[in-house]
Structure 1
């Protein structure tokens, strides 16, 4: 897969080895990940191939003909950030080799839902929706004549709008489902104005509709939720996924909530033969019930954390800190912190300061003190006492207010930085730079408005039906901020509407140093002052929220007077890979790491050229990185934290060696640390190791590695002729296990080991 975002999955009923996956989520948050078409597997998911529709953006649903797995339908919302013709309902009759667009409304209205009549698969229902985003607003809905429900009776070749009984002024997001127990009965959850929103039912195959419930909880935040599922065995039972999971047993007239392991519910699959067996999904992951939703399986077997940033500390092993979307902040050790393994590695986790938005950072001189942010509210947590104190820069309620009416425009994810020169000095940013020297009790403003502050970005978010103002769409705010690690008082600021500023006098004055030629309106996602050169800094900038998918990384070596663009779409990072973060290795000048929407890249020459450096990292947005103790620590949007252990070989690499080469190892720490093998629910903890890296220019007959002390005495020998280090069975307290035995055996083949 080229993208981490999955919008829909469908297994062919006639052949469960055939699976179609539509990429690109139609739950269009501001950090929605781009879809890149449809994938297909014919061997139950072991291998996949891309089968087209690369440009249709977010895919809301995929449906397969019940007896012919080559006939498949896709409901495509389209590109979320721009108008265009690649949206609507698409059909393939040859297993995805070719596609026809069979339902198209206009360049701004796509399709969200498509469903087949189980007794007559030529009868198909689809919903049309205008769902788009700008950096400053959400557009969900439009004139009713452009949205609504459509029906085809000839396998999708022709369509008729069948929305009698639905609102006639404005219609937004709609999901529709057919009751297998009574295929003449359909349910639709409908975004509309006021009390006209809610659940609608048709008992005549979609010819007419009647509202059965206007319960507000069924249709909260419709751009993000809006999912309805009919029970396959009982036509009176219907489920609605929203903030809560709702169930009706009287045909949709009344509802009650059903607890799930996590809130923010997005969809479910109900076994057509056993309605008590279901899979339900939410912002915490996926969970299975075998008793109709009374109990659910755990979500702690899915490494799917969406992390906004990453921080590290000075402990051994060092801890990794981050904020998880729609969850808590989290602190985890980078390696097992004890010699004995716990009953469950979840015991290593702890919650930190702040909330899901972050950031969170440990105090550099005392990692027992954590600072965090929750949607603009600053806090201090003392891990020794377990007490957290919240502070406001200014007491204000940002929810529900236009950006222009907020005194301090704190974004949902508002950066703060601890001065590398004085841990008591902390900066926090709205459209201004705020500074505290007493851990958040009092704040001073040390800058003017450092944003473009264009009027079109300062209105009410959410149109034309549902207002949605939770901080994500606060535009014209400072989104990236750093102080130079080499010069106290050199401060860098970047806004989410484009401008870059620098102060060289501790905030007394500021200069606009936005790179010349930088397209306006984009987000300065991250700033990296060079750890090697005064006056040098890098910025990672993206404009995909404005439908510009180009990568933008810039470098200055003169405090922003001039800039060089390090990404032209031809020097390694593709032209459609937006960049989120760039870091310079603190141990090798000019060695850069770039995190993009679709993975990780490396540059040996200060950005002149880039090469993909994915290794075994999943293809997912890289949101942040830190190079710490010669480890590369990465946060991702959807696959948790990753660590590339010991990059010291990169510090010594100049060119591919032609002769056998032994790289100098980094300093190793002697300790007894428990080892944990990576599974779906346990981290990959290698224990305390010394890494010995070497390169062979050609295959060798024999390889021997010797470890010597300062006097030249051989302490340990490793040879390719040894027996190796197999695992042997052991009996644990609770279950059998395996442990390593023997001595590692060096490889003899050409390459790096």
Structure 2
């Protein structure tokens, strides 16, 4: 059985309690370029907390918190009672049953947030996967093996190595979500043996870590940019320094408000007391994202972090700076990235974004940041500059640098002009040159790991071949073949285990059949040669294999004015030609998606209007909230459909959309509806899962009705309080399965008797589960460790 402290050490649980951390803030906003900010706060944490391996305990409870500001004032605050309840529930569960096994894919690659080269071991690198822990390669980035315990937090935001070979890992991803989600952690870990074992090293209330910087002179002095929690509060935000010979954390640069945290760090290579730090003011809720604010700023310390000066003396105006406010404190100042040229410490480069995504400005300095001047147009006009915020300078050439964007941007003239270094996947996040191999540089992005042996020249990049840390949104399994699988992957499209001419074989090797961010996928239950995929905001296609060829058919026009990123498409269980699509209205197709008819009232009838405090003002997500999130047609009654929305509304029609009943006043939570499942033998028997993750509500909400929604029972029972992402029902055995952010659980008696399913499943969020047609296997799509399977035929 898992003990209380061991459960707290797991990320799935620690991610929850990170939301409830209290905020340590300093009064006032730091605005003056000449103002000196004194670091003065000690954090009493014993860094030597014991080795973390498969038998060790770490962690501890955290304090509750207030919420961010008026934008979040309607949210429910997590209380001590909720936390204690989650502790007690989680402590009762142990691993039991069959062992989970990795299925794949391993040949695609997922988002990498950190990368370090081991200077002492040729061809050895380590990477931090956004949802998949730390991985090690000893063959120059070709293949990777896990270097991270499966039960620790799998969401990683930063990775660094000291000159003594010590690895430092920061849990919790600092990149904010766009249409999807990113997840949080429980502080900093260190390893003295190449990732074979890890010690918990404090800052357990930090939510996420944007950057770690190890002093090259004194590797026991470490700086950490604690970013906080995107949708809630975190007690530890700002820039921390490891003092007392590497034992105690001191807050040296406080965050000025509850929505600001640290995100980037840099050091003068010739002066280990000159430190650069970035604070970032950003937040989101169900629908609104504000990725900038008055708390954002760039700072420098010349005495090892004891005092700080704000750097904002920009001479001139960047052509992309529409407000002309430069680096001054301003509501439009978003994410900032900084880099110092290794061969000229006076040369400093800075990239900035606005609060809604476009580039704000690129700057350079020849005096260590005291004054800055606008450079060329570094960004690629992607509009997602908050997703990147990174610059890297060639260690041998201060005029040669790269900027993270959708494409990898390169300059060979100090940022005056820019071009694309082609041949790599989109969305760049990590880069480092290899000191052992001249001209060799490694790159991490949303597609995994790449290597160039010609200094990053365009089209010189080689992709890794084994990196099983994909982030799956949804999963499909053919009814007649448990090896025919499809999954939608974050920024890696939709992939499948077969081709038009080749049946499933090696399940580690999947191939693409849809682009963008892969989301919903379906395999026709009557003909596995017909299958579907959607990328973000409901761009969907039907695919058909016939006579050794494949064809793709675009979905026909639909009638919604708002569509969520993870738009649902559902095949009717009574007729395989009928497909449903949900936006803010419900559409029905009788020809497998070629044409659609609207079967719900127009406008906001089902979803309600977008609440003012959840109305996104940016250019990308204004029409992606107040939508249908799940659709559940009944098998025994083709006229009955249940559906749920992200605004927490649950509906049923029994006449194919002519009339609708909303289940209000039934005690149901008003929370994002993640999943609705109808008993295939009884249209009046239905299960619903809700999530308050974006609202700071941790409750595990699974509800059941046996009378068509007239009455509802909360059957969450002893489920640990965590978002329930998906449900699956095995009616023949009367088992309900729940995929959660704390693992997969099974209810065997139809009421509240939940048990953890299986052994050895990595500690990351499970976003989808599917039972095979023969009822022998359950597949789990994880958001960071690819797809796993476990036998359930006992």
TM-score normalised by length of structure 2 = 0.73
Question: Is this contact kept in 2: 1:248–1:255, CA < 8 A?
Answer: yes
Q: Secondary structure at the match of 2:694?
A: helix
Question: Is this contact kept in 2: 1:26–1:59, CA < 8 A?
Answer: no
In structure 2, the residue matched to 1:443 is 596
Return closer, same or farther for 1:300/1:157 CA change in 2, 3 Å cut-off.
same
How do 1:410-449 residues align onto structure 2 when only pairs under 5 Å count? 410-448=563-601, 449=605
Q: Post-superposition shift, 1:607?
A: 4.8
Deviations 1:393-440 (A, max 9, x none): 348xxxxxxxxxxx5312222111111111122111111211111222
Is 1:561 paired with 2:744? no
Q: Partners of 1:584 and 1:441 in 2: how far apart?
A: 30
Question: Is this contact kept in 2: 1:323–1:355, CA < 8 A?
Answer: no
Question: Is this contact kept in 2: 1:17–1:45, CA < 8 A?
Answer: no
Is 1:239 paired with 2:239? no
Question: Is this contact kept in 2: 1:529–1:537, CA < 8 A?
Answer: yes
Q: Partners of 1:431 and 1:211 in 2: how far apart?
A: 44
Q: Secondary structure at the match of 1:89?
A: strand
Q: 2:544 aligns with which of 382, 403, 407?
A: 382
Q: 1:468 aligns with which of 611, 620, 623?
A: 620
Return closer, same or farther for 1:33/1:514 CA change in 2, 3 Å cut-off.
farther
Q: Post-superposition shift, 1:357?
A: 3.6
Question: Is this contact kept in 2: 1:25–1:35, CA < 8 A?
Answer: no
In structure 2, the residue matched to 1:631 is 777
Q: Post-superposition shift, 1:7?
A: 0.6
Deviations 1:355-413 (A, max 9, x none): 63432212222211223334324432221142212133348xxxxxxxxxxx5312222
In structure 2, the residue matched to 1:225 is 388
Q: Any stretches of 5+ residues in structure 1 without a counterpart?
A: 396-406, 650-753
Return closer, same or farther for 1:48/1:607 CA change in 2, 3 Å cut-off.
farther
In structure 1, the residue matched to 2:533 is 372
Q: 2:363 aligns with which of 189, 192, 200?
A: 200
Q: Partners of 2:507 and 2:729 in 1: how far apart?
A: 32
Q: Between the two structures, name the one with larger relative contact order (CA 8 Å, sep ≥ 6).
A: 2
How do 1:19-58 residues align onto structure 2 when only pairs under 5 Å count? 19-29=168-178, 30-58=180-208
Return closer, same or farther for 1:243/1:377 CA change in 2, 3 Å cut-off.
closer
| RMSD over aligned Cα atoms | 2.7
Q: Any stretches of 5+ residues in structure 2 without a counterpart?
A: 1-9, 12-152, 315-325
Is 1:284 paired with 2:447? yes
Q: Partners of 1:21 and 1:275 in 2: how far apart?
A: 29
Return closer, same or farther for 1:355/1:252 CA change in 2, 3 Å cut-off.
closer
Q: Secondary structure at the match of 1:197?
A: strand
Is 1:179 paired with 2:341? yes
TM-score normalised by length of structure 1 = 0.77
Q: Secondary structure at the match of 1:310?
A: strand
> Comparing 132-141 with 292-301, which one deviates more in the overlay?
292-301
In structure 2, the residue matched to 1:136 is 287
Q: Partners of 1:299 and 1:88 in 2: how far apart?
A: 35
How do 1:145-544 residues align onto structure 2 when only pairs under 5 Å count? 146-165=295-314, 166-168=326-328, 169=330, 170-192=332-354, 197-217=360-380, 220-272=383-435, 276-294=439-457, 295-332=460-497, 349-352=510-513, 356-374=517-535, 375-384=537-546, 385-394=549-558, 407-448=560-601, 449-456=605-612, 459-462=615-618, 467-469=619-621, 474-514=624-664, 516-520=666-670, 522-531=671-680, 533-544=682-693
Q: Partners of 2:220 and 2:681 in 1: how far apart?
A: 58
Deviations 1:591-637 (A, max 9, x none): 22221124222333335133333512221111111111221011111
Work out which of the two has the higher radius of gyration on C-alpha atoms and give 1 or 2: 1
Question: Is this contact kept in 2: 1:304–1:640, CA < 8 A?
Answer: yes
Q: Partners of 1:554 and 1:74 in 2: how far apart?
A: 42
Question: Is this contact kept in 1: 2:175–2:388, CA < 8 A?
Answer: no
Q: Secondary structure at the match of 2:631?
A: strand
Q: Post-superposition shift, 1:501?
A: 0.7
Q: 2:733 aligns with which of 584, 588, 591?
A: 588
Q: Post-superposition shift, 1:63?
A: 0.9
Q: Secondary structure at the match of 2:738?
A: strand
Return closer, same or farther for 1:440/1:354 CA change in 2, 3 Å cut-off.
farther
> Comparing 95-104 with 579-588, which one deviates more in the overlay?
95-104
Q: How many residues align?
A: 617
Q: Post-superposition shift, 1:476?
A: 0.7
Question: Is this contact kept in 1: 2:518–2:533, CA < 8 A?
Answer: no
Q: 1:617 aligns with which of 761, 769, 777?
A: 761
